[in-house]
Amino acid sequence: MSDSLLDRRTFLGAGLGAAAIVAVGSMASCSTPTAPTGGSVAGAGVELPSYIRFAGVTADIPGTDAGIPDTFFAYPANPQPATTELPADGSAIRGSVPINKAVPPSMDRNSYWQELNARIGSDLSLTITPGADFAQRFATAVAGDGLGDVFTVDLGFAQLPQFLETQCQDLTEYLAGDAVADYPFLANLPTDSWRGTVFNGAIYGLPITRGVQSSVLLYTRRDLFEARGVDPQPTTIDEFLQTCQAMTDVRSNVWALTAVPMSMLQQMYGLPNTWGVDEAGVFTHALETDGYKDALELGRRLIADELVHPDSVDASTADQKLWFGAGSGAIHQDTYSGMGSMYEVGSGGPENYAVGLMVTPSESGEPAPLWLGNPNNTISALKQADESRIRMLLEVLNWLAAPIGTAEHMFRKYGVEGVHHELDDNGDPVMTPLGDSEASGGTFPIEYLIDGPRPSYYPGRPHVAQDIYDHMEVVIPTGVRNPTVGLYSTTQGTNGGRLTTMANDAANAILLGREPVSSWDEVATDWRSGGGDTIRAEYEEAYAQTQA
């Protein structure tokens, strides 16, 4: 079996399967719900890096403690350098990263990359692997010791804690507590994100932070809703069904939903965010609750009433997103950070193409509690080395984490003005074709080694940042956490994937009408005896340690 075969599975796994139960997850792309596959057996004793906010830039709407990120309607004017020295020492640095776009031209043919090397002060050679193939690449590179000095970690890797402990650098002494102050841009990363970097009681990684932006929601094609005169904001589940019916026209190959948004259906019924925990520290998985059967029943009905694109089950999320862009689906489940791509898929669409954000309806008509996504997309780690090399690499990563509004950030994301981007009247960078290819249109994959706190900023689309802010203002206060974020369960690592495949398969059979909803009880029982109970016990134990 070649790698590529397996990869397509990973890729396709993001179809209804993964959407059905947001629990698997390896390397999630920025627009796939990130997976709460684990974190660590609590930071027993380890002190997380102190949070020292970078004060150099003020947002148009500053972020809130509840988690709404800094909102910018335009790029802060006159970005100034925030560092004075080259971070690297001239020795070559090797790394491995995934990418969720086309792989950019290699270093020798890439003026952006060469300029990046000049500004870092070392050649940064990266092995860039398409995101769908990254899990396989990671596993083989681990076996062949080919990941380099600094690399993105596949959080779905089965023996992650052992791997980190034996092969990767323990960063605790460099970053714990106030030690992180040596690296001001790393200190600017939120505390919540650092929790996910703790394994075996030590800091083993750096967070690729997303904050609340990895939370999933329902996107709507606002222009299509307007054209049909349908209100894109149903408040109850019944209204949601009516909305879907009004947006479906099978004879013209138009369906309301690109796929069954299983995550959102669970939220409509107020289910725990994959896992829930009560006062006594007892964990319950969403699939064990009665509400899960309500969600399945609703999903089954959506398919039976032909309100869902008929090819959604075996389609990739990328395909489903294209249907949304092409208008054969009007409602699509994705993360906040997928917003940019919601507009990208519509670039060839109608002039008035517009994307709205639905406040999730509920049984009562109040906004459904939002499942907060994993605060990290993933983490990156460093190969073991001596202290001076580690400090040098941390300097480079610190430089790469410079936040929005600094000259470092402006270059890192958008390249050189006049070459990779031009500034429009609003002061926003507009990528040139060269910048689109060489700097990956503003998402060069160094953003998977480290990234600053992710702002809500959409160059050239200030109204989008406003739309997101308005949506977040309503739903973020309702947010529910997944209590397993920051905890690690060994059985989840080794057995979780199999259990998820089994549960997804059973859920699909019900959604597609092959099995009755009542068959789910047996699935939940099998899930418990097949390893679910062990996973629960491990999470409960780890959770108890954090509470102690």
Please identify which residue in 221, 309, 321, 454 interacts with another protein, judged by CB under 8 A.
309
| Span of 11-19, 116-124, 332-340, 376-384 interacting with another protein by CB under 8 A | 11-19
463 binds another protein (CB under 8 A): no
529 binds another protein (CB under 8 A): no
Least distance to another protein, CB of residue 207, Å: 22
Tokens linked to 470: 């308005």
526 binds another protein (CB under 8 A): no
Which parts of 148-167 interact with another protein (CB under 8 A)? 157-159, 162-163, 166-167
Q: Which is nearer to another protein, 217 or 506 (CB)?
A: 506
Please choose, from the candidates 159, 183, 232, 79, the residue with its C-alpha nearest in 3D space to the C-alpha of residue 398.
183
Report DSSP state, residue 531: I
Question: Is there a contact between 157 and 139 (Cβ–Cβ < 8 Å)?
Answer: yes
Please choose, from the candidates 287, 456, 264, 235, the residue with its C-alpha nearest in 3D space to the C-alpha of residue 370.
264
Which parts of 197-226 interact with another protein (CB under 8 A)? none
Q: Which is nearer to another protein, 463 or 498 (CB)?
A: 498
Q: Which is nearer to another protein, 72 or 138 (CB)?
A: 138
Question: Is there a contact between 459 and 47 (Cβ–Cβ < 8 Å)?
Answer: no
Strand partners, 221: 355
512 binds another protein (CB under 8 A): yes
139 binds another protein (CB under 8 A): yes
Which parts of 34-53 interact with another protein (CB under 8 A)? none
| Span of 105-113, 170-178, 310-318, 426-434 interacting with another protein by CB under 8 A | 310-318
Q: For 118, what's the count of Cα atoms within 13 Å in the CB-facing half-sphere?
A: 9
Q: Which is nearer to another protein, 107 or 512 (CB)?
A: 512
Question: Is there a contact between 212 and 476 (Cβ–Cβ < 8 Å)?
Answer: yes
314 binds another protein (CB under 8 A): yes
* Integer Cα distance of 261 and 249 in angstroms: 19
Three-state SS sequence of 449-518: CCCCCCCEECCCCHHHHHHHHHHHHHHHHHCECCCCCCCCCHHHHHHHHHHHHHHHHHHHHHHCCCCCHH
505 binds another protein (CB under 8 A): yes
Please name the residue that has the structure tokens 């505390």.
191
Question: Is there a contact between 475 and 370 (Cβ–Cβ < 8 Å)?
Answer: yes
Q: Which is nearer to another protein, 429 or 497 (CB)?
A: 497
Least distance to another protein, CB of residue 1, Å: 6
Strand partners, 206: 380
Strand partners, 308: 257
Q: Which is nearer to another protein, 114 or 162 (CB)?
A: 162
* Integer Cα distance of 414 and 409 in angstroms: 8
Least distance to another protein, CB of residue 253, Å: 6
What DSSP string describes 265-322?
HHHHTT--SSEEE-TT--EEEGGGSHHHHHHHHHHHHHHHTT-B-TT-TTS-HHHHHH
Q: Which is nearer to another protein, 163 or 336 (CB)?
A: 163
Question: Is there a contact between 10 and 26 (Cβ–Cβ < 8 Å)?
Answer: yes
User: Pattern of binders to another protein over 63-82, x per CB under 8 A?
Assistant: --------------------
User: Pattern of binders to another protein over 317-356, x per CB under 8 A?
Assistant: -----------x----------------------------
Q: By CB neighbour count within 10 A (0-12 exposed, 13-18 middle, 19+ buried), where does 419 fall? A: middle
What is the total count of residues that contact another protein (CB under 8 A)?
41
| Span of 12-20, 48-56, 110-118, 361-369 interacting with another protein by CB under 8 A | 12-20
Least distance to another protein, CB of residue 529, Å: 13
| Span of 123-131, 177-185, 247-255, 384-392 interacting with another protein by CB under 8 A | 247-255
Which parts of 479-498 interact with another protein (CB under 8 A)? 493-498
CA 183 to chain centre: 25
Phi-psi region of 442 (alpha: psi -120 to 50; beta: other; left: phi over 0): left
* Integer Cα distance of 469 and 471 in angstroms: 5
Q: Which is nearer to another protein, 80 or 494 (CB)?
A: 494
508 binds another protein (CB under 8 A): yes
Q: Which is nearer to another protein, 314 or 424 (CB)?
A: 314
Question: Is there a contact between 115 and 107 (Cβ–Cβ < 8 Å)?
Answer: no
Least distance to another protein, CB of residue 506, Å: 8
Q: Which is nearer to another protein, 25 or 486 (CB)?
A: 25
Query: 158-182 burial, b for 16+ CB within 10 Å, e for fewer?
Result: eebbebbeeebbbbbebbbeebbee
Tokens linked to 159: 């023996």
Please name the residue that has the structure tokens 């080794």.
494
Q: Which is nearer to another protein, 352 or 384 (CB)?
A: 384
Least distance to another protein, CB of residue 271, Å: 23
Q: Which is nearer to another protein, 37 or 398 (CB)?
A: 37
250 binds another protein (CB under 8 A): yes
Question: Is there a contact between 87 and 118 (Cβ–Cβ < 8 Å)?
Answer: no
Least distance to another protein, CB of residue 17, Å: 5
* Integer Cα distance of 25 and 23 in angstroms: 6
Q: Which residues are near another protein by CB under 8 A?
A: 1, 5-6, 8-9, 12, 15-17, 139, 142-143, 157-159, 162-163, 166-167, 250-251, 253, 309-311, 313-314, 328, 493-498, 501-502, 505, 508-509, 512, 514
